[in-house]
Structure 1
């Protein structure tokens, strides 16, 4: 079914979607507040790239810590807008009968992923500041794999759920 022919159903946001968004916003505000409070103690040069072992191998201005938060928040806002149009997503099994279930599932998947991505950007801004302040020497070698596994597991969970909802 082409997306032009798909039903455009107005589905109210769920309690879970609202809680996830509120939690992400609170954590974003906390991350920005932490950066503001720590700003004067952060040296002018901070790590902006890490090798596979989690050691910094690229350095840049401390303004890059804000850039991480801006990129994360811009992605969050854009994905929030995209959440409002579940009829344009790709679906494995979409029919008139299961459209509402599939839309809810896909919208929740997008909500979970956008919040996971924002949390990763907040975390990277915080840990880069910690490394620059020599409170920490490197990322854990598990930080990026955990993020990738989390995103992949979320996608897999919602794909399996979509198949069950057909």
Structure 2
């Protein structure tokens, strides 16, 4: 049973609104890139990349539809979680006075994680198509390193900001 916490309506911050636009645009870009390149794609496309960013497994071009589907489900599910910050996990020092600060920080972590993952999925799909078409050599390890670093920064920054709430 969840502890009784205030259920507050707190407007999204500018960064959350902007991140949602980027996340939704990434889903749209992913889908459109698949549609526009579908007929040009060979029968097999990369389905997995190793740590060096090289394709090491191949499958049907229909496998390209998996990441957009996951991105849509992720976006919807995490959007629901985002709208219920009172149900997130908080330290015992949560009070009615500091709840708005905790809720905003927790919601931003969920929002930014959702949208960074969506952008990362779009990057993987687009790079997979480019590899399949012979226009790229691999995933491009630098891009993945940047995504994981941004994700780590989002989570660590949010946790640090929450630790400073009195």
Q: TM-score range by the shorter chain?
A: over 0.9
Counterpart in the other structure of 1:14: 13
Counterpart in the other structure of 1:77: 76
State how 1:5-84 maps to structure 2 within 5 Å.
Answer: 5-84=4-83
Which consecutive unaligned segments of at least 5 residues does structure 1 have?
none
Query: How big is the shift at 1:135?
Result: 0.3
Deviations 1:116-141 (A, max 9, x none): 00011111111000000010111223
Counterpart in the other structure of 1:122: 122
Query: How big is the shift at 1:51?
Result: 1.2
Taking the aligned partners of 2:85 and 2:2, their CA distance within structure 1 comes to 10
Taking the aligned partners of 2:22 and 2:58, their CA distance within structure 1 comes to 31
Taking the aligned partners of 1:62 and 1:5, their CA distance within structure 2 comes to 49
Counterpart in the other structure of 1:159: 159
TM-score, normalising length: structure 2: 0.92
TM-score, normalising length: structure 1: 0.92
Taking the aligned partners of 1:141 and 1:19, their CA distance within structure 2 comes to 26
Aligned pair count? 165
Deviations 1:59-91 (A, max 9, x none): 111111111111111101100011111011112
Which consecutive unaligned segments of at least 5 residues does structure 2 have?
none
Deviations 1:71-116 (A, max 9, x none): 1111011000111110111123412210011101111111111000
